[in-house]
Structure formats: structure tokens, C-alpha cells
A and B are shown apart, each in its own frame.
Chain A
Amino acid sequence: MVFSSILFLFYFMPAAFLLYYLAPRPAKNATLLVLSLIFYAWGEIRYLPIMLASILVDYAASNMIERSGSHQGKRRFWLLVSVAFNLGMLGFFKYAGFFASNLNALTGLSIPVLSLTLPLGISFYTFQTMSYTIDVYRGQVKPEHNIIDFGAFVVLFPQLIAGPIVRYTDIRRELRDRRMNLDQISLGVRTFILGLASKVLIANNVGALWTETEQIGFAGLSTAQAWLAILAFSLQIYFDFSGYSLMAIGLGRMLGFEFPKNFDFPYISKSMTEFWRRWHMTLGSWFREYLYIPLGGNRRGAVRTVLNLFFVWAATGLWHGASWNFVIWGLLFFVLLMMEKGFFKSFLDHHPVWARIYMVPLIMMSWAIFAITDFSQMGVFFSRLIGGYAGSDWVYSLRNYGVTFALGILFSTPALKGTLERLERSRIASVLIYGFLTVVSVAYLVDATYNPFLYFRF
């Protein structure tokens, strides 16, 4: 089930919150577990056993690590069980087809290429549970003994399908004992509405232009139209992804959880280094914590640091989808970040105008690499992007999407943040703003012709 649907808003949400709020305190996690499993299984009931297996394996492994006491060999064995299970699932469902087809191309073999529907949110919850067993192994956290509490952590429906990547340590205390008050619930409701509006009113609205452009084909685009199309995708991916995160954070608050922030106006960044501190923050910190630092981080000399970074960025790219364009996308950031590390960053920090001239086109071009999986198509698109082709197709696009573009650009900066916060102090103003956003979002959901779920590759 996805958040931005009539089904979620008017069936699942009222029922779930009614049951959850009415459930006595000791039964709240059990209620949450059952609700989350229903949420997960809706439409893809075949994958429910995978989720249950995931809960059981990580529960068992983490508790066995604790029981192994100081016996390093055993502890390592159970850690390996968990990591192998999680990476194995991810590998099987997400990467098996990719590796098989590459291997076939390299060796001339013909291993059958599986194409499986990716279980919803698998890249998110395998990362969450892996971080948990690694933390237990490192002794940073005690394992969860109550399987219901643990299960509730793993399938917690708000962050299950599209992040943020919530680590066990983030919500451990709240899992046991959380207080819900109206302040928090009301903050949650408002955060949820902002997320819903980001997704439905901005992302879906501009995203249609990119999807149409893809359908027509890139060969006849004018250069202006190519830039408008990639601007549309840049705004779509940001408002879609950050919208989902906001909805998750909002729902979390309504349930009594405080999830970590995931996006912090990434498009105002003055360098790529800064961009990745503001974009999908929980993923960046996951890779730093559980890949970069275990590889040795920057403590093993310059060559090793570069190698580690290369590996982390290739993995970050590949995490976004089983296709080479994502690897290249990740490695582009490796190159840019290395350049910035070397000499560029201090220049950018001191020259905000140059920083924008560098960042804005480059971020947009990086999204072109992200969005186009076929390399020959990508070549065509880039040739249109830089070729200076004339045409009148952009006139229609600009006229049709101009206002939405302007709103998208405006809201990707914190320009109105202060005004909004001030307005929210007035009850009437906040009822008007949030009421307007909710009602218009619902109208777009009822008459939805374009409401994609972008994370089916993740």
C-alpha cells in the first residue's frame, strides 16, 4: 500500500489509528505489528513470508550474539548469518537478474535471467535490520528480547517502503515506552499533510512532463525542452522522495515515534559534499557508519581512503537500482567529491554564485544519468541537452508547467519557511493552509491519472 492513495487515507489510516489509539498500552506494539503486516501484505501477499523470515532470522541472530557472550567466533558467526541473510535476500530479489545478464554478456554463458517483482521496501528494511545486528555485535545496543516489539520495529509501516532508514538505536526507547500527546500528534498530522502535498501536488504534477518526454522519445527534443524535462524530473524526485519521508515522519509522530530527518533543502547546497549531507541523510549516514568506517574510513592512508570512497559510492549508486547507470551515477559523485575534497570545496564555500553555476546544472545532469537506464538513450538525451537544438516544443511545456515549476523551485528553498512558521502560530491560518492542502491533494488523488511509485527499483 502507498500513502498517497484514497485507500490508505480513508480506509487504512482511520481504521489503523482508531485501533492503535484504543489499544491498551501493553497491546500497542502488537497492534502496530499486525497493522504493519497488513499494510505490507496488501497487494503483494506472496512476499509476506519473506518479511516474517526477516523478522525471525534477525531476532534469532541478535539474541544468539548476546548469548555467545565473549566467544568471538560464535558472535561473528551469528552476525554473518544475519548479514548473509539480508544481503542474500537483496541479492536474490534485486540483483540476481542484473548479475546473471552481465555474466552472460561477459562469458557468453546463458544463465537464465530471473525478473522478479521487488518486494516492497526491501532495500530499506534489509538495511535497517542489518544495522541492528551489527550494532548488537558491536555491543552498542542490547538485543530486543520481545519478538513483538522487534517485529514492530522491522515492519513499522510509516518508514517501511521508502524510508527514512530508521535504525533500531533511533527508536529503541520509544519502542518500549512512548508517550503520545496532542502536541506530538498534531505536529505529526501537519508533517504528514506537507508530505502528502509535496508528493501529490508538486511531484506528480511536474513529473508528468518527464514521463511524457520519455514516452515520446528523446530524438526530437529541442535543447530547451530537454532542460525543462530534466528540471521536471529533478523536482519530481525531490518532492516525491522527501514527500514520502515527511509522510513517514508525520505518521511516526502520530504513533509516538521520532524518526530522523531525511531531507534538508538539498537543492540549495553549494557543493556536492553539502548536497549529500542534505539529501537522503539516513542513507548517507548508514553507508558511512556501516560501510565506510568498517572499511577503514580515512585512517588507513590516502590510497586506501580513495579506494574506500570509490567503493562506498559505487555501492550507494547500486543501492538505487540494479543497473549500470546507477553505478555510474554513484561514481560521478565519487569523482566530484574527490575534486571538492582536493581543492574545490573552499573555493565553492567562498563563491556562492560560482557554486550555484556549478551545482544546479550538474545536479540536473546527474538526475539524467539516474533516470535513463538505457545507455544509448542516455547518449541521445545528453546530445539534445548540450547540442543547441531549436524547436517550439518547450513553449507548450513552459506554458503548461511554468507555474508548477516556479512553485517547485520556490519550495525547494527555505525562502518561505519562516513565513510559514509565523503563519502557523495563528490557528485560523493553519486551518486554512493545511485544510487547503489536504482537500486539493484528495481531489488530485480522486481524479488521478498519474500517481507513480518511484521506488520500485530501490
Chain B
Amino acid sequence: MKKLLQYPVTVLFFLFLFGFSLTNFLTPSKAFSELENKYLAQRPAFSWKALLDSSDKGFAQKFEKYVNEQFPLRDGWISLKSRAESALGKIENNGIVYGRDGYLFDKYRSYDAGRLEKNLGLLERFAEKTPGLDRTLMVIPASYNLLTDKLPEGLGNIDQIREIEAVYERARQSGYRTVDAAAALMTHAREEIYYRTDHHWTTDGAWYGYEAFAAAVGRQAVRPDSALRRTSEGFWGTYFSKAKKYNAAPDTLVWYDLPVDSVTIDGSDVNGMYDLSQLEKRDRYAMFLHANNGVTVLQNSGAPEGSILVIKDSYANCFVPFLTQSYSKVVVVDLRSMPKGLAELIHSEKIEEILVLYSFENLASDSNFPRLLY
């Protein structure tokens, strides 16, 4: 025993290894990580077939993932790494760049041009399949494209505003009206139009987008009464979940308690446009429209006559509440949760106008666009 004490590094090293592997065995698996806002891998089921599979669906790779994600004190290790990265003078972590004033940004240096091309082609074919309908395309750039004064020098991200212009050029040829959301946001770049810790635009940002949209389609943008403004402090967004920056400050979530008659999601009634129970959870942005669902129908008899179909990603979730004040019927479709039936839906809901609203990054990466044609 006395002899062992002469080798403290060795003794501590083995104690460390054994201590953590025992703790790992004895502690039950966690299902969800609040810090990272994701479900954690669970112990994979063993089978001889899975053992022989060397792909990421095989036992070996799944087990490694499980071991990593269930490692004891995972959150502490993650925060230690984030501190170490900062100590090394790094201004990014896990692909998220640290900007000025607490803003986190996406590191977006390349995108899948083939996928974007495919999706634009599918939008063209969708236009051919929906003759006689009024179609609008609106593509939203990520925060770093507008908050340029908060970016570190020489980041070298893709200029999404330029890419969107090229996308619009093509879309106009196939009969889409385009809305220059970037220009509308640009005039308000000094305001809180994007979250600091999340990839979405804020409700204020969405308001300027809605203003530009309304002007383009020739409808009245209905400014909500400021008495209806509600806020929730302490929102940690997706950028934070990736970067896990140890000294980040949370955002404030804003919404307007706007009047609607009814909201149904995939055929069943829900209570209003906002899921307030999400405010108790980590992923607060999911309160807008109850997150991403297949088909959401919003009726508002107080709004001007009209029915519009919104095909969208999550950027639209905080935008649609404004839209309900301009159209008596808004039908919202998220292709990721709706496998087929779009043509039938357009018919049965007597859709007159279509708005395709995506962030550039999703437009260039979403693989569900073929569902436009089913």
C-alpha cells in the first residue's frame, strides 16, 4: 500500500477509469438531455445479426454511441470542453461561431448544390401541377447574413442573400411571385430580428417578413395590438444546444395572443395557436403552432376572406399567427410530417393561394420535397 502511494498518477488514473466505468454500469440511462435538447442513445439490443453489421445500424457503432451519450456527468464534460475551447482562444464550438453581443451563428461554408437543384426542380413541377393558383415563394436567410457587424472577420460563410436571388430568378420563371424578405429584414438589422442562441428569426423578424409578404400579395398587414404581446424569458435555442457555450445568455421568446376561431392539427382540435406547455420545457420555440405537424388548419372569421396554403419549415411557425389576421383560412403543411395527399388537400380545402416559406438552409437540404407531388 505504501508502495502504491509512490505512484499517484498511476493509481489515480486507474481509479478514474474504474470509477467512471462502475458508475456507468450502476446508473440508469437518461432518456433526454436538457442541455443538448436531444434524445440520448440507449443501450442497443444484442443480436448476432447486429453484431455482424459494421454499419452505423450495427451493434458495435450503436453501442459506442450509447456509451458516449450515457457517460456519467456528460453535461459537465461538455461544459468543460466548451471552456477548454475558449481557453484555446477558439471562437467556435461544434460548428457554431461566437459572434459579438452574445450572438451565436451557424458555420455554413458549403451546401449541397445538387439537393437545392433537385428541390427547385420539384417546385417547378409543383407549379405545373397547380395551374390557376396564386403562388409565392419566400426564402429566409440565416442570421449571419444580416447581422454582419456581429460576425468575426473572415468567416467565409456562404452568402445566402445572393444564393436566394439566384433561386428567386428561377422561381419567377416558373410562375412564383417572390418576396424579398432579406431586404425587409435588412432595414431592421439593428433590431432583435434573430435570436442569439437559436437559428430562427424572432417574432419581430417574422413580422417584417409578413409585412413584406402582405405588400407583395396586396393585402393589408394587420399590426397586432401591443397589449397582446406576451414574453417568456430564458429561452435556450438550437445554436446553444450545439455550441453549449458555457457563458451564453438566454433569449426572450415573444408571441402575440391573436384571435382565431379554431385550430386543428391533423384533424383534431387543439387549444389555440400556441402550446404554452412547451414554455416549461427546453425547446420553447416548439410552442409556435404546436411545433411541426403534418396539416394544421387555422380559421379566423374576423379576417378578410381568403384561403392560403403554407408549405413550410419551422421558420413559418412564428410567422403564421400574423397570417391568420389576413386570411380567413390558413392551411399549414410541413412536408416532413405529411407523406402524401397534398393535391387532394388543395382541392378539398379550396385553396386559392400558396405560400412556400423556407429558410435557405432547409431549402438546400430538405429531402422531403418529392412529397409536393403526391
Residues of chain A touching chain B, judged by Cβ–Cβ distance below 8 Å, are 5-7, 9-11, 13-15, 17, 42-46, 117, 182, 185-186, 189-190, 193, 205, 212, 215-217, 391-397, 399-404, 407, 427, 430-431, 434-435, 438-440, 442-449
Contacts and interface: CB of A to CB of B under 8 A. Distances in A.
B81 A444 contact: yes
Nearest to B11: A186
B154 A186 contact: no
Given A440-B80, A443-B84, A447-B78, A399 B110 contact: no
A403 B12 contact: no
Nearest to B90: A400
Interface in B45-78: 51-52, 54, 58, 60-61, 63-64, 67-68, 71, 74, 77-78
A396 B153 contact: yes
A220 B94 CA distance: 24
Secondary structure at the A interface, as helix, strand, loop or mixed, is helix
B18 A6 contact: no
A439 B92 CA distance: 21
A10 B12 contact: no
B13 A403 contact: no
A395 B77 contact: no
B152 interface: yes
Given A182-B6, A396-B152, A449-B95, 20 more contacts: A7-B63, A10-B71, A11-B67, A14-B18, A182-B3, A182-B7, A186-B10, A189-B10, A189-B14, A193-B9, A391-B154, A392-B156, A393-B156, A400-B89, A403-B88, A435-B9, A438-B16, A443-B81, A446-B68, A449-B94
> 9 closest pairs, A vs B, by CB?
A395-B154, A396-B154, A446-B77, A43-B60, A392-B154, A443-B80, A403-B89, A186-B10, A443-B81
Interface string B119-150: 00000000000000000000000000000000
Given A46-B54, A404-B88, A189 B9 contact: yes
A383 B64 CA distance: 42
B110 A216 contact: yes
21 contacts: A6-B71, A7-B64, A13-B17, A43-B54, A182-B3, A189-B9, A189-B13, A190-B9, A392-B153, A392-B156, A396-B91, A396-B155, A402-B89, A404-B89, A407-B88, A427-B6, A427-B8, A440-B84, A443-B77, A443-B84, A447-B77
Q: Which of A43, A430, A448 has the most CB of B within 10 A?
A: A43
Contacts of B89: 399-400, 402-404
Contacts of B7: 182, 185-186
Nearest to B107: A212
Nearest to B4: A182
A403 B85 CA distance: 10
Nearest to A47: B54
Contacts of A392: 153-154, 156
B24 interface: yes
Contacts of B71: 6, 10, 446
B337 interface: no
Contacts of B88: 205, 403-404, 407
A443 B78 contact: yes
Nearest to A18: B18
A394 B152 CA distance: 12
Contacts of B63: 7
